[in-house]
Amino acid sequence: MHNVAGHRPYSLLAEAYDDIVGRKFFLLVRDAFEHIVARHRIGFASVADLGCGTGLFARYLNRLWRVPVFGVDISPAMLRVAASNCRGTKVTLLRQDLLRLALPRPVDLITANFDTVNHLVGDGDLPRLFRRVFRHLHPGGHFIFDFITPCNPPDEMTVHFRRSADGRKDVAQRIRWVPTRRLFLYDIMFRDPASPRGRMELHRERAYSPQEVASWLMEAGFMLRDVLDAATLRRATVCPSRVIVVAQKVLH
């Protein structure tokens, strides 16, 4: 995978994203969300979905729950796909850096799925995001998000191969785990008839421990309502590979 020019994250992946991973992960996120909403009796009349990507979850929120949704992402390519997926819905797409989150108005619920917060890799990034999310929630509102932890990481290097549903695009993903920096480095190679040499995107994600995430949430003013193992949807008693957090803006 070397000697290939790197492209901006999601600039190439966007068109094939739903075929390769988006639809499959959406079903998992949807099922987890419905479990959490029922478990905690969470009501909401407005939502913002951070890192909305191709808009599948934002579309679901609007169509099933019949609430207006803000879909926020920084990738123009992903937002173009989201605009197509969300056509005819009450989903408003916003291109924003999450660290400068500025919703047009506060909402009752904010979500962030599929490693969205792990894309924030700088020191202090996650506490900063939590403070901005807190400011954009109505009192009593909820913040539901998942993240990857440094527990049970994969081998130092793993490779996955996927093909789009139409068989026209092959995607090879090499994942390197750097334990000293708690970073996942992703090299994503695309091959299709239009580009026989292949093209590459480079992604980075930072793993966070449940303890530090909980501490930063409480410092921002949140109350923790649940910390779940994403694989089982049971309360996390150890450190799973992926965690789902349910936090609430405390009523004053």
Q: Identify the pLDDT of residue 12.
A: 79
86-91: average pLDDT: 98
Q: Identify the pLDDT of residue 156.
A: 60
Share of the chain above pLDDT 70, in %: 88
What is the per-residue pLDDT across 220-246, written as a single tens digit (0 to 9) for each?
999 999 999 999 999 999 899 999 999
CA distances from 208 to 21, 33, 70, 211, 240 (A): 23, 21, 26, 8, 11
Q: Identify the pLDDT of residue 1.
A: 34
Q: Identify the pLDDT of residue 91.
A: 98
Residues 6+ apart with CB under 8 A from 130: 143, 216, 217, 219, 220, 222
Q: Identify the pLDDT of residue 240.
A: 94
What is the per-residue pLDDT across 29-63, written as a single tens digit (0 to 9) for each?
999 999 999 999 999 999 999 999 999 999 999 99
Who wins on pLDDT, 197 or 92? 92
Confidence band of 2 (pLDDT split at 50, 70, 90)? very low
pLDDT at 102 over 50: yes
User: What pTM, to 2 d.p., does this model score?
Assistant: 0.91
Q: How many CB atoms lie within 10 A of CB 142?
A: 24
Tokens of 161: 């191969």
pLDDT at 168 over 80: no
As a CATH number, domain 32-151+207-249 is 3.40.50.150
Who wins on pLDDT, 134 or 202? 134
| Cα(8)–Cα(78) distance, integer angstroms | 12
Q: How many CB atoms lie within 10 A of CB 234?
A: 9
| Cα(251)–Cα(201) distance, integer angstroms | 43
Confidence band of 159 (pLDDT split at 50, 70, 90)? low
Starting at the earlier edge strand, list the strands of the sheet with 170-178.
Answer: 6-7, 195-206, 183-192, 170-178, 157-163
Who wins on pLDDT, 64 or 186? 64
Average pLDDT, the chain: 90
Who wins on pLDDT, 146 or 190? 146
